[in-house]
A and B are shown apart, each in its own frame.
Chain A
Amino acid sequence: MENPATSPKKSSKGGWISFLKGLLPTENGSAFVPPFSLIGWIFLLAGFFGAFTFGWVVYPVALYSRQPQPISFNHALHLDPDVGGIEGDTETEKCLYCHEFRDDGTFSGIPKLAKCTECHDDPESPLGETQQEKEFMEKYVAGQKEIPWLIYYRQPDCVYFSHIAHVKMGKIECQTCHGDHSKTEKLPIYRANLLTGYSINIWGKNIAGYKTNTWDRMKMDDCAECHTKKGHEENNACFVCHK
């Protein structure tokens, strides 16, 4: 007897075509009732577009938290030569005034309160006239309390990233990866992935994975892309970053 499993399948005559035809509503009032009535189609498409909209519009918003920073900080004001007076010969030097390298070469990231109080040392006499500074003085400087900054660009624990290697050896400007913050007056809202806890700046701001600026996303492929572009493919080896 022929084994049905191994025998070549014979397509029934016009099988697919008549199946698809059958999906369409017919006008001729034949006895055949198609499985998809118009109403059926409406439900199907409602489901389709509903999910589509959810996936593209609702989900990317719902996935991330929206947390304002504990206090506001005005980069532009601090870098204004007439007001903040933070100086430096190059853009990078200006950044390093606060976001400094420690003696051991590690990068301090967001400055600690001690950096702020180098200038804002007396809680009783603010340097400017803004309400935000007063609030900062009262809440943090007077009480010697660290500001619980939310950090946009912290790589996960499994990643070893050395700023000094990129800035001093690679001679990359800060803006290249972080964008130009020197002119921003407000800090962006911090958004963390509710599942993973990662900042949106790490996985990427665009849910579809497109990026326009370097600082839109900082995933492994982005590191590799730049290494390759700069002719340092050897740095794409696993253990360079995943120690």
Chain B
Amino acid sequence: MQFATINQSGTLVISVRERRIDAASAIRFKDAMREATQAAQGRVVLDMSGVDFVDSSGLGAIVASMKQLGDGRKLDLSGLTPDVDRVFRLTRMDSVFGIYPSVDAALGLRASG
């Protein structure tokens, strides 16, 4: 599972560099999230704009990633592609996460260009 991470004014932004978070990759995703988030504190934004498929195993792994953050740390999501967005809405998980159209929107920045 490949991630690109940046720390921007106290928020850790993790961009998923794989197209699928599914049963075949859910455990690797959860492990990679633990590794990417354990050194930082505070809010995490997961940029999903490169992910075009999430099944319920992947959804479970994203929920588990929020739980393993602990201490009330917030996991927000940005850039959900249409099929991924649909899975979050149908399962009502869109009410559990903060969901933003883009990383800039999640960070409260105006889109550039």
Does A pair with B? no
Write the residues of chain B forming the contact surface with A, with a CB cutoff of 8 angstroms: none
Write the residues of chain A forming the contact surface with B, with a CB cutoff of 8 angstroms: none
